[in-house]
Structure 1
């Protein structure tokens, strides 16, 4: 087993998957993920983790995937372009034991490392083996109603904790709420006409021609 600076603590995980048919839910929040800033710890290939966040229509494409470098854990740090409300998620793994089995979710904990994951998670979920992405996992409304960053920690796969995990797709469903306040304030300021910026466009006096 390879160590990346953390211990495998454990507490009871709640089992809340809900099974539905194809396309019962829409996982469209990828449009609001700042993909260039997504980081994945313990990935075997740098940059592979962000590729599993893709349009729902591409979820069956197994070309891109992320695999853990050593042991089963993967930690995704996912920033959004504004504040969002999340309702649920979907995870597609392989048909073998490398499929993720347990995850922990953390709200607004930017740049998390494995050492930070000892804190209590906002939600823990036991996953089903779901290579087609038809299982929806509802998220707690009270926890994920207003956030700008999500961390997903995969703690085990169906082989346990010592073998590599493989993920093809992670879909998030929810809704965009509002942009960051600082950006809104700047946009509002810039939209106001400033007298000094338009002094050459404002006549000093009104002239009339008398016929």
Structure 2
């Protein structure tokens, strides 16, 4: 299925606008961006299975750090509580943590299984295969202190990561709520240049012509996750 996006991602680099947000998180924006892998995500290659609205999975990953607590867009599951998200990167990364935010309801995810470099998964294989790591997601806090959860990963298992697949297996409803809702997904870590040396995070990945071949290659593989979608 071809992905047609006309978005100009230049709007995503809002490093200097932290004074314009209603919630007071301006002090943590710059440190968060220093290790945030937002600019290294291949947004057009994202595929989400069982999403109620097409492209809503990609939409929540496209949220900038400043938009992380916005209610919309929101990813909702369709026929049951499970979601499967394939997220490719524009090159090699070392993942350090998963960033996650959901509204504080029973629809928030409880268990997330991560698979490194597996663009070929569907729900059947994701349920059968041993994940790279399984995360128990705490319930979202309510009130003004509510913010993105940063869940540490086993770093040794996520070296040389070119894509990550998130299997949202269950939510906090204990089987009573068939819709899982996720508002924000992001990652922290290190982006590796083609020579495998760490590079600074605030550079423009798309401006490097060497990255374009990697993007195209990842996209082609990524589409196999969703036959018929």
Same fold, judged at TM 0.5 (above): yes
Question: What residue is the counterpart of 1:102 in the other structure?
Answer: 111
What secondary structure is seen at the aligned counterpart in 2 of 1:84? Answer: strand
Q: Distance in 1 between matches of 2:69 and 2:104?
A: 13
Matches within 5 A, 1:1-211: 23=28, 26=32, 28-53=36-61, 54-117=63-126, 118-130=128-140, 132-161=146-175, 163-179=178-194
More helix as a share of residues: 2
More strand as a share of residues: 1
What secondary structure is seen at the aligned counterpart in 2 of 1:87? Answer: strand
Contact preservation (8 Å) 1:89, 1:170: yes
What secondary structure is seen at the aligned counterpart in 1 of 2:44? Answer: helix
Tell me the TM-score normalized by structure 1: 0.71
Measured on the aligned residues, the alpha-carbon RMSD in Å equals 2.5
Contact preservation (8 Å) 2:47, 2:58: yes
Q: CA deviation at 1:137?
A: 0.7
Contact preservation (8 Å) 1:92, 1:130: yes
Q: CA deviation at 1:136?
A: 1.7
Q: CA deviation at 1:111?
A: 3.4
Structure showing greater radius of gyration is: 1
Q: CA deviation at 1:180?
A: 8.8
What secondary structure is seen at the aligned counterpart in 2 of 1:120? Answer: coil
Deviations 1:53-108 (A, max 9, x none): 12111101112011000211000000110000110012111121001111000000
Gaps in structure 2 of 5+ consecutive residues:
1-24, 197-208, 214-229
Q: Distance in 1 between matches of 2:182 and 2:136?
A: 15
Q: Distance in 1 between matches of 2:57 and 2:114?
A: 16
Tell me the TM-score normalized by structure 2: 0.66
Contact preservation (8 Å) 1:102, 1:155: yes
